[in-house]
Structure 1
Amino acid sequence: MKLHTLKPAEGSTKTNKRLGRGQGSGGSTAGRGHKGAQSRSGNAKKSGFEGGQMPLQRRVPKFGFKNNNKEYFKAVNLDALEGLAEKVKSTTLSLAVLIENGVVGKNDKVKVLGRGELKAKVSVEAHAFSASATQAIEKVGGTATTVK
């Protein structure tokens, strides 16, 4: 066997139909059928067009509202801070520490909430604190610092 003798297996290939080359090769319509938009040159239907049926993007309703003036906070509870304090073994839980450990994203505004119990004496930095969280942090001797 040599490279110049290689051929595909018998019956595995077909010759393409040469359309639009006269009567002997698919007839006058060249495989496009009779009349209609798809039979004409220059036809390109819009993306999302479903043949006149109400398209998906118009059938599915729009919903929801995002207020551009509202501040959206990522909630972090005291029990999460307790677990982080044990893991990091640090007395300060700054925003950088929270971001490094995957508790919050780098663009999130953080609000500390009062669920759970805090045993470690830590100073916490966040954008906002609930009253119960501040009380719980100061009760164990820590500080709650608000960051802009």
Structure 2
Amino acid sequence: MKLNQLKPARGATKKRRRLGAGTGTGRGGTCTKGHKGQNCRSGGGTPPWFEGGQMPLQRRIPKRGFHNLGRKVYQVVNVGDLALFEAGSTVGVAELREAGLVKKAGVPVKLLGNGDLEFALTIKVHAASKSAVEKVDQSKGKLEILSRG
């Protein structure tokens, strides 16, 4: 069997209903939409979230807390996770992605101080915590902060 020989199963497809083609079709006049009202007009009907005039769910649910619109989102990598790199190597965002420590491209990376670093590395990330900076300094490594752009 070839791709051009494939057909849907018998009875699986139906002919499209043609509306507004005159009274001889059996669906002329109002085109099975009835007389007047919201649903008989073109573009008529209600959106899926409409609840018949009842107060909508998204307005009934209480809103709580503060949502900071200017918040900075980072992907985090811990100092202890860097043990899988070779001593003396340079670790940037691309190397972290290859190692699977960072998933998303374009989202800045922040280094956190959880874990220990036994050897020196040159690390290039967008941000770092104080404890991470101290641990990199203790291991005699270098930390370069990249710009976010």
TM-score (norm 2): 0.59
CA RMSD, 1 decimal: 3.9
Residue in 2 aligned with 1:4? Answer: none
Distance (whole Å) between structure 2 residues aligned to residue 97 and residue 44 of structure 1 = 54
Distance (whole Å) between structure 1 residues aligned to residue 80 and residue 62 of structure 2 = 40
Pair 1:36–1:57, CA change in 2 (3 A): farther
The number of aligned residues is 127
Residue in 2 aligned with 1:142? Answer: 141
CA contact (8 A) 1:37 1:43 kept: no
Residue in 2 aligned with 1:44? Answer: 44
Residue in 2 aligned with 1:66? Answer: 68
Displacement after TM superposition at 1:103 (Å): 2.0
Please state if 1:54 is matched with 2:55.
yes
Displacement after TM superposition at 1:53 (Å): 2.7
Pair 1:91–1:40, CA change in 2 (3 A): closer
Displacement after TM superposition at 1:112 (Å): 1.1
Please state if 1:97 is matched with 2:98.
no
Pair 1:42–1:142, CA change in 2 (3 A): closer
CA contact (8 A) 1:125 1:145 kept: yes
Pair 1:143–1:45, CA change in 2 (3 A): same
Please state if 1:128 is matched with 2:127.
yes
Distance (whole Å) between structure 2 residues aligned to residue 72 and residue 40 of structure 1 = 48
Distance (whole Å) between structure 2 residues aligned to residue 147 and residue 39 of structure 1 = 57
Ranges of 4+ aligned residues in structure 1 off by more than 6 Å? none
Distance (whole Å) between structure 2 residues aligned to residue 36 and residue 78 of structure 1 = 69
Pair 1:38–1:137, CA change in 2 (3 A): closer
Displacement after TM superposition at 1:90 (Å): 6.7
